[in-house]
Amino acid sequence: MTTSTSHIVFENVSKFYGEVLGVNRVSLALPPGVTSLVGPNGSGKTTLMNLMTGLVRPTQGRVSVLGLTPDEPEEFFRHVGYCTQFDSFPKSVTGFEFINQFLRLRGLSSGEAARLTAEAIERVNMAPAAHRRVAGYSKGMRQRIRLAQAIAHHPTVLVLDEPLNGLDPMARSESIALFEALGKQGMHVVISSHVLHEVDKISDQVVLMSYGYVVAEGQIHGVRSEVKEHPMQILVRCPNPHLLASRLFTQEHVVEAKLNNDGGGVLVRTRDAERFYQLLNRIVVEEDFPLEAVAPNDDDVNSVYQYLIGSGGGTV
């Protein structure tokens, strides 16, 4: 299977709305798994998703999803489901009718469409409200029924624009678990979200966007290690943090070693994480130094977002 038939591919894609830039010169190849699109409002996340699904056409470049384009809608939308951020519905429909009528558009029999509708509604825990009119739903219920509509036909590519908006903590956690499970099944799940710490937990890769440009992309750990301006933060928990701190100060790649507030660890900032880990191994082995835990402290989407976009940016 080639990249073009297994990935979502953007080839030098630009989109302008008149003179307004949507996205500029984007080249990406998104593999299966959960991909988070991260960036501030107006950074081009929704444009990228709309380009992916053919709701807007590129001014320049080419987009393909698993080797398909929206010009062959019968095949393309068999594989693709898109839950947009538009909180709107056809008039006077119930949740069930909403999903069912668009399944019938796929040429399914009424029985098959009803079965898939019920299954999708069950999956987002909306069964009790399925036969009520959507106009009477809460924002969270509307969000869930739109999600159900996007997954009802069992797509292999699921595009979700701010899918956690309006959801209560319980529904949010259920949705995240669902996205994670779908990603693990080998599906492409592309999510844009402002709730960074939540999507961070389930993202296999991240695309950081700012002002229509892709600032960074890849696995979050790889992206973090490429941000050279900001030394890596690593938290080492141990019973003798002051001893460890004094040993670390002698190393030129260690920028800062700060005792943790609870006195049970050291927060280290280093320009070379690999050399730091090697040093730590040596200390533990050669000096029998007791360690409780070692973990990166800013190796997440939120930190990378802050470094690259939130506080004046950086370069990769």
Partner 1 sequence: MTAALARMRQSFTEAPWRLWLAQLGAILRIEIRKSMWRRRSIWIYLLAFVPTLMFGIHALVNPMGSSAGISGDTTVFAYVFQFFYLRVGIFFGCMGLFTWLFRGEVVEKSLHYYFLAPVRRQLLIVGKFLAGLITVALVFNASVLLGFTFLYGHYGPAGRAFVFNGPGFGHLLSYLLVTTLACLGFGSIFLALSLVFKNPILPGIALLLWETFHAVAPALVQKLSVSFYLTQLCPVTIPPEGFLTLFAVLAEPVSPWIAIPGLVLLSVAVLVFACVRIQRTEISYLAD
Q: Are strands 33-38 and 188-192 parallel, antiparallel or unpaired?
A: parallel
- In the complex with partner 1, the residue whose CB is nearer, 33 or 58, is 58
Q: Which residues within the stretch 104-143 sit at the binding site for partner 1 (CB under 8 A)?
A: 104-107
Binding to partner 1 by residue 88, rule CB under 8 A? yes
User: Which of 117, 181, 125 is closest to 150 using CA atoms?
Assistant: 117
- In degrees and rounded to multiples of 5, residue 271 shows phi and psi of -85, -15
Nearer to partner 1, 24 or 205 (CB): 24
**Closer of 149 and 203 to partner 1 (Cβ):** 149
CA geometry: angle at 188 spanning 187 and 194, to 5°?
A: 125
Supply the Cα-derived Rg of the chain in whole angstroms: 23
Q: Using CB under 8 A, pick the residue from 10, 89, 96, 179 that binds partner 1.
A: 89
46 contacts partner 1 (rule: CB under 8 A): no
How many whole angstroms from its chain centre is CA 303?
14
Binding of partner 1 by 56 (CB under 8 A): yes
| Closest CB 78 distance from partner 1, rounded Å | 6
Q: Does 272 bind partner 1 (CB under 8 A)?
A: no
**Cβ neighbours of 244 (radius 10 Å):** 24
Q: What b/e readout covers 221-242, taking b as 16+ CB neighbours within 10 angstroms?
A: eebbbebeebbbbbbbebeebe
76 lies in the site for partner 1, by CB under 8 A: yes
50 binds partner 1 (CB under 8 A): yes
Site for partner 1 in 289-308 (CB under 8 A): none
| Number of residues engaging partner 1 in binding (CB under 8 A) | 30
Q: Please report how close the Cβ of residue 56 comes to partner 1 at its closest, in angstroms.
A: 4
Q: How far is the CB of 135 from partner 1 (least distance, A)?
A: 12
Buried b (16+ CB within 10 A) or exposed e, 35-48: bbbbbeeebbbbbb
Could you list the beta-strand ranges (E) of the chain: 8-17, 20-30, 33-38, 60-65, 80-83, 157-161, 188-192, 205-210, 213-218, 232-237, 254-259, 265-270, 293-296
Show contacts with partner 1 in window 145-174 (CB under 8 A): 149
Figure out which of the listed residues 67, 78, 133, 296 binds partner 1, where binding follows CB under 8 A.
78
**Counting contacts by CB under 8 A, is residue 41 touching partner 1?**
no
- Sign (positive or negative) of CA dihedral 45, 51, 55, 58: positive
**CA-to-CA distance for 92 and 211, rounded, in angstroms?**
38
Residue 288 makes contact with partner 1 by CB under 8 A? no
Cα 46 to Cα 56: distance, rounded to the nearest angstrom: 10
Contact status, residue 193 vs residue 199, Cβ threshold 8 Å: yes
Residue 105 vs 177, nearer CB to partner 1: 105
Q: Which of 4, 6, 14, 84 binds partner 1 (CB under 8 A)?
A: 84
277 binds partner 1 (CB under 8 A): no
| Token pair in block for residue 80 | 């693709």
Q: Which stretch binds partner 1 (CB under 8 A): 5-13, 49-57, 136-144, 188-196?
A: 49-57
Binding segment for partner 1 (CB under 8 A), chosen from 85-93, 207-215, 271-279, 283-291, is 85-93
In the complex, the residues that contact partner 1 under the rule CB under 8 A are 17, 50, 53-57, 73-78, 80-82, 84, 86, 88-92, 101-102, 104-107, 149
